[in-house]
Amino acid sequence: MAIRVRERVEFSAYERSYLPEIARGLTVTVGHLVSNLAALIPLDPFRQRRTLEDRTVRYPEERRVYPPRYRGQHRLLPREDGSPRCVACYMCATACPAYCIHIIAAESTDPKIEKYPAAFEIDLLRCVFCGFCVEACPEDAIRMDTGVHTPPFDARDDAVLGRVDLMSLLGRPGTEPAYGAQNYREKKPRGS
């Protein structure tokens, strides 16, 4: 990597005299102050300035809708019979850069399915919400389309979501992933 020497900024005598620059700085901040105050005066029918009140999203009461591709909390998708689609292949856990997915595979009772996750845990304190697990999954069993961001925890254990928690979440309507969704089909059981 090339070393780049950044030139030191030498201030001119004019800048070092400080006062004109302070005056200019004040014009910036006072300009914002005045324009925000002026927007409060309902005497401005032509320019229709938006007041700060209009421009502010008051978070806990008002929430901005997240964009469709927002990577929110993970969920595990079910099959039609309610069992997880996950086949415990460990591809998501392998792809995970934060090592936050822990899977314990078990043999499925369904003869057509090889394995299922006896435990599937995501440690949200470790998760970096990169979405690699979603891309790695060959079964489209994990998605991050809930639109929910991580809730606050008051205990470390609460941050570890198990299989039941992950399957209880629903996807937001209209947020089906653009990739993979069209190609995905409910797999026909082998041999039929």
Partner 1 sequence: MFLLIATLLKFIFFGLVFAIGLAAVLTWMERRQSAYSQDRLGPTRAHFFKIGGKPFTLFGLLHIAADGASMFFKEPVTPKNADKFLFKIAPLIGWTTALVTLALIPFGPSLPSSVFPASWIPEGVETIYLQMAHVDSGILIVLAIGSLGVYGAAIGGWASNNRFALLGGLRATAQSVSYEVALGLTLVGILMAYGSTELGSIVESQNGLLFGFLPAWGLFIQPLGAVLFFIAATAETKRTPFDMPEGESEIIGYFLEYSSMQFGLFMLGEFLEIVVLGALFTTLFLGGWQFPHLIGTDSVSVFGLFTWNGPVAVAVSGTLVFCVKTFFVCSLQLQLRWTLPRFRYDQVMRLGWKTLLPLALINIFVTAGLIWWDPTLSILSYVSIGIILLFVLVVIAGPRRPPQVAHGH
Strands 160-161 and 75-76: unpaired
CB nearer to partner 1: pick between 36 and 168: 36
Do residues 142 and 129 touch, judged by C-beta distance below 8 A?
no
Least distance from C-beta 67 to partner 1, angstroms?
23
Report the 10 Å Cβ neighbour count for 70: 16
- Residues near 69 by beta carbon (within 8 Å), at least 6 away in sequence: 175, 177, 178
Least distance from C-beta 55 to partner 1, angstroms?
8
CB nearer to partner 1: pick between 5 and 164: 5
Contact positions with partner 1 (CB under 8 A) in 10-69: 12, 14-15, 19-20, 22-30, 32-33, 36-37, 52-53, 55-56, 58
CB nearer to partner 1: pick between 27 and 94: 27
Sign, CA dihedral 157-162-166-167, equals: negative
- The yes or no reply on residue 156 touching partner 1 (CB under 8 A) is no
Strands 142-143 and 115-123: unpaired
Least distance from C-beta 4 to partner 1, angstroms?
7
Enumerate the H helices of 72-149 as residue ranges: 91-95, 132-136
Task: Give the footprint of partner 1 on this chain (CB under 8 A).
Answer: 4, 6, 12, 14-15, 19-20, 22-30, 32-33, 36-37, 52-53, 55-56, 58
